[in-house]
Structure 1
């Protein structure tokens, strides 16, 4: 069995793993900005809640989001490099790839926001975090349409 045969055999497993990892990553990308909203708005009212929110945010990032992102990327790259699975003459793989990079940049931005909360220097409001929460939704819409319709 050569490398290509091996990749074809593992392809459905990689695709399944990719879908599960993306679902977990997206759940975190949707939920973490919402936690930031509550952190900003409740910590003012009840200061003791600040450390509780920070712990929740850190664990969400470290235990769920970061491993899910890495798994989604690794499984996705396996899919991309499996010969004959992606037709690069279409636009959809390029739009999906650009959006995945956008998701990764948003993920990194969220990491920086956690660091701001840790250092006590968050300057964003609940409203700003609510608006930021729309970014992964828009990227997800483009990704799903791209993958389903394969333009």
Structure 2
């Protein structure tokens, strides 16, 4: 049977989606910092609110969905490789580093949701956090990405 998509293509598309997703997660808090530091109702605030919404809708959400879809596909191909064994044995054979990576990616997905909710609050005029807070928050995705990449490549 001919496969529509191979493992190597799925892995490449997964990596591309992750790059887009993490890039957007790095940028979005910076936009929020500019919004927070700008004059309420001013031109800069409006431009940054529009840019932040576009980033969420055009880059972040699609790349999140694609990263998860390709990631689940890659994990499923790993599980199906030895389908003759009982399912609990297959899951037990998944390397420990993978579970650490999964926990970090779930955290990054939650962070994505947090940023989306905060963007809606900023758009409604609520400025609950300082400009400095948002600048610090922009470092989180990079730190998580470092850990995820090292887990996936070193497979400790």
Alignment TM-score, normalising by the size of structure 1: 0.88
Unaligned runs of 5+ in 2: 83-89
User: CA separation in 1, counterparts of 2:45 and 2:30?
Assistant: 14
Q: Distance in 2 between matches of 1:14 and 1:146?
A: 19
Q: How far apart, CA to CA, are the structure 1 residues paired with 2:94 and 2:65?
A: 27
Contact 1:113 1:122 in 2 (8 A): no
- Give the equivalent residue in structure 2 for 1:102: 107
CA distance in 2, matches of 1:97, 1:106: 14
- The runs of 4+ residues in structure 1 deviating greater than 2 Å are 83-90
Secondary structure (helix, strand or coil) at the match of 1:20 reads helix
Q: Which runs of 5+ in 1 are unaligned?
A: none
Alpha-carbon distance in 2 for matches of 1:64, 1:48: 23
Give the aligned partner of residue 19 of structure 2: 23
Between stretches 81-90 and 25-34, larger displacement belongs to 81-90
| CA deviations over 1:73-131 (Å, ceiling 9, x no partner) | 00000000003499844221011101110110010011011111111112111111112
Range that drifts further, 118-127 or 71-80: 118-127
Q: 1:29·1:107 contact (CA, 8 Å) conserved in 2? A: yes
From 138, 143, 156, give the equivalent of 1:133.
138
Please provide the CA RMSD for this pair.
2.1
Q: Which one of the candidate residues 52, 64, 68 is aligned to 2:63?
A: 68
TM-score, normalised to structure 2, is 0.85
Aligned to 1:37: 33
Q: Deviation per CA, 1:28-55: give whole Å up to 9, x if none.
A: 00000111111111336x8221111100
Distance (Å, rounded) in 1 between the aligned partners of 2:62 and 2:52: 15
